[in-house]
């Protein structure tokens, strides 16, 4: 068992109320850490922070909670000016504590920082994206521990389209909505149920884990800043707190954007209160804009959709264009395309929704396959030892599944992605830290790569753009000149003439 270390921000388990119970997800995290010999630390700066509490009774309760953990002591820090340059200004004492936590993470004293403080998450994103990937929420941390050390139990969320009246209105997913919207029950019955509004539901173990309610509107109805004759309103976007570590928000957003793009919508929009920081950060990352506030005090977020080709300027970052225009991307020059061959077992891990066996198809076991697809996030990671150094942010990836007996997509180009970053991992510690938020690999599987300085593992972070339907078989790839003979054994560059036949098979709702 590897010696993993977590640094816990005290806001995870110390609230404003003296006798507040420990949240169930935090209790689960501690139990898992104990089971798998993961060290849990509290930074000694947290003791100073607690000591400033003028409420003596509350301070004593907080200190009693903190003393149950190992204390991270004597972490040497650079001068304040250097810390502020890296992590931002520290005008208040609690800012100093926040930066101390991030500094300890940055220099590798611990593997991950667990915090619910969105301010700390924001500081980490401003510092470097790799550091931000090591700052986890509690549910993120629970999901990482389970994926890393309990790989035998595989649960994939499913997204299914159902009418509103097929959903149990007593389900506890609606509890917080009722608190925020006094007339929620009336709206749900008179609008959603009566109008048979279509919904996407994400289920895990037959439990409702995430929900999106959608409605098609005209510009006159929507009154949005951006015009468009065909507008998709996301009326409800909700994930149960205990399932947030499953990346269901990203899964549901992918469902919304893929649907809207393929069905020629001009705009997607939703409204949310400003305290929904996690949702808002995801929306902004994928190109939504805050365009105002409605009469209820909710912020309005809009994302215009286009169907034409993206023409980048000389200073444009190709990955940022793909991220903010998602799922559209730059598929022509200056972007370059690469074929990525993957063995079948790794293809199943990376794209579980494509792990369809021939026997299942022959006997009708996939009759719901089109509308009931295993969960898959947008941001993913691929590991390999390919010698190429040509991959850059914005490069296009075409994933080729090698021969896999009994599988429908055997020897086919199946999926398209866009490179975000490429990093070399020289140790198991590197692999764990770099891949924690995205990898579907257990720690045992990561150890199997045997990463070292002489033979580093290439870690490719990418956005999943879409799947080719149907996949392009090897015989067609050879006939159209994409391959010249045998399929590639390692990542290879595809010049425009060899990439164009694949572009012509992409039916994602926009021109590539």
Walk across the sheet containing 337-342 and list its strands. 379-384, 457-473, 412-425, 396-401, 337-342, 492-494
Q: Is 306 left (phi over 0), alpha (psi -120 to 50) or beta?
A: beta
294 and 442 share a domain?
A: no
Q: What is the CATH number of the domain that holds 41?
A: 3.40.50
Assigned domain for 512 exists: no
Assigned domain for 400 exists: yes
387 and 470 share a domain?
A: yes
Assigned domain for 94 exists: yes
87 and 65 share a domain?
A: yes
CA distance 348 to 111: 28
448 and 467 share a domain?
A: yes
Assigned domain for 217 exists: yes
Model pLDDT for residues 118-156, shown as the tens digit of each residue: 899 989 988 887 899 899 988 889 888 887 887 544 445
Walk across the sheet containing 299-304 and list its strands. 289-293, 299-304, 267-272, 231-239, 207-217, 198-204, 158-163, 373-374
387 and 344 share a domain?
A: yes
pTM: 0.84
Q: What is the CATH number of the domain that holds 450?
A: 2.30.130.30
CA distance 116 to 8: 10
Q: What's residue 439's pLDDT?
A: 67
Which range of residues forms the domain containing residue 250?
A: 158-304
Q: What's residue 138's pLDDT?
A: 87
CA distance 43 to 10: 9
205 and 123 share a domain?
A: no
Q: What's residue 356's pLDDT?
A: 64
Assigned domain for 319 exists: no
Count the domains in the chain: 3
Model pLDDT for residues 52-104, shown as the tens digit of each residue: 777 888 788 778 778 888 899 999 999 999 999 999 999 988 899 999 999 99
Rg (alpha carbons) of the chain, rounded to whole number:
24
- Which among 286, 304, 322 is the end of a domain? 304
499 and 403 share a domain?
A: yes
Assigned domain for 489 exists: yes
Assigned domain for 126 exists: yes
Longest dimension (CA), the chain: 78
Q: Kindly report the CA angle at 210 between 205 and 214, in degrees rounded to 5?
A: 135
The upper half-sphere exposure of residue 380, i.e. CA atoms within 13 Å in the direction of its Cβ, equals 26
- Which among 131, 149, 167 is the end of a domain? 149
Structure tokens, 388: 């190429």
- Which among 91, 125, 149 is the end of a domain? 149
Q: What's residue 357's pLDDT?
A: 57
162 and 292 share a domain?
A: yes
Counting residues of the chain whose pLDDT is more than 90, the rounded percentage is 61
Structure tokens, 163: 């009418």
145 and 162 share a domain?
A: no
Helices in 277-407 by DSSP H: which ranges?
A: 277-285, 318-324, 344-350, 358-362
180 and 291 share a domain?
A: yes
Q: What is the CATH number of the domain that holds 293?
A: 3.40.630.30
142 and 212 share a domain?
A: no
Assigned domain for 473 exists: yes
Tens place of pLDDT per residue across the chain (512 aa): 458 999 999 877 774 333 455 567 788 888 999 999 899 999 988 887 787 777 888 788 778 778 888 899 999 999 999 999 999 999 988 899 999 999 999 999 999 999 988 899 989 988 887 899 899 988 889 888 887 887 544 445 678 899 999 999 999 999 988 888 889 999 999 999 999 999 999 988 789 999 999 999 999 999 999 998 999 999 999 998 877 767 788 889 999 999 999 999 999 999 999 988 888 999 999 999 999 999 989 999 999 999 999 999 999 999 999 999 999 999 999 999 999 999 988 888 888 878 765 545 444 444 433 333 344 689 999 999 998 889 999 999 999 999 888 777 889 999 999 999 999 999 999 999 988 887 677 888 899 999 999 999 999 999 999 999 889 999 999 999 999 888 999 999 999 999 999 999 999 999 99
Q: Are strands 412-425 and 373-374 parallel, antiparallel or unpaired?
A: unpaired
124 and 206 share a domain?
A: no
């Amino acid at each position: 068992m590897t010696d993993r270390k977590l640094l816990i921000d005290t806001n995870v388990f110390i609230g404003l109320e003296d006798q507040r119970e420990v949240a169930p997800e935090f209790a689960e995290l501690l139990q898992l850490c104990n089971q798998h010999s993961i060290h849990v630390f509290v930074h000694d700066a947290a003791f100073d922070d607690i000591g400033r509490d003028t409420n003596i009774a509350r301070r004593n309760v907080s200190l009693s909670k903190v003393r149950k953990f190992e204390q991270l002591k004597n972490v040497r820090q650079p001068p304040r000016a250097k810390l502020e340059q890296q992590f931002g200004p520290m005008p208040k004492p609690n800012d100093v504590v926040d930066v101390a936590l991030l500094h300890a993470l940055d220099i590798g004293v611990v593997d991950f920082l667990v915090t619910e403080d969105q301010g700390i998450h924001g500081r980490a994103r401003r510092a470097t994206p790799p550091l931000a990937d090591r700052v986890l929420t509690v549910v993120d941390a629970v999901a990482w521990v389970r994926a890393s050390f309990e790989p035998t139990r595989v649960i994939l969320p499913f997204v299914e389209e159902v009418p509103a009246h097929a959903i149990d209105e007593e389900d506890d997913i609606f509890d917080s909505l009722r608190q925020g919207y006094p007339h929620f029950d009336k709206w749900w019955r008179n609008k959603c149920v009566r109008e048979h509004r279509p919904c996407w539901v994400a289920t895990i173990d037959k439990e409702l884990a995430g929900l999106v309610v959608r409605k098609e509107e005209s510009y006159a109805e929507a009154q949005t800043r951006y015009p468009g004759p065909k507008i998709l309103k996301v009326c409800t976007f909700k994930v149960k707190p205990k399932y947030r570590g499953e990346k269901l928000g990203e899964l549901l957003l992918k469902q919304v954007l893929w649907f809207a793009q393929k069905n020629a919508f001009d705009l997607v929009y939703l409204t949310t209160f400003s305290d929904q920081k996690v949702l808002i950060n995801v929306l902004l990352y994928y190109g939504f804009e805050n365009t105002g506030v409605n009469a209820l005090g909710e912020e309005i977020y809009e994302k215009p959709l286009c169907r034409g080709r993206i023409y980048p300027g000389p200073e444009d970052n190709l990955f940022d264009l793909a991220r903010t225009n998602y799922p559209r991307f730059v598929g022509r020059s200056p972007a370059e395309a690469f074929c990525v061959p993957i063995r079948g077992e790794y293809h199943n891990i990376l794209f579980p929704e494509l792990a369809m066996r021939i026997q299942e198809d022959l006997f009708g076991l996939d009759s719901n396959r089109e509308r009931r697809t295993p969960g898959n996030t947008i941001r993913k990671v691929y590991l390999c030892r390919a010698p190429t150094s040509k991959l850059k942010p914005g490069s296009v990836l075409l994933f080729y599944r090698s021969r896999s007996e009994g599988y429908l997509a055997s020897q086919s180009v199946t999926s398209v992605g866009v490179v975000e970053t490429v990093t070399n991992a020289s140790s198991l510690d590197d692999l764990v830290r770099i891949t924690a938020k995205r990898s579907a690999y257990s720690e045992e599987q990561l150890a199997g790569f045997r990463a070292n300085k002489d033979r580093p593992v290439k870690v490719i972070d990418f956005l999943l753009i879409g799947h080719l339907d149907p996949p392009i078989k090897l015989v067609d790839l050879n006939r159209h000149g994409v391959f010249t003979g045998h399929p590639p054994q390692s990542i290879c560059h595809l010049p425009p003439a060899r990439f164009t036949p694949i572009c012509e098979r992409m039916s994602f709702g926009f021109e590539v």
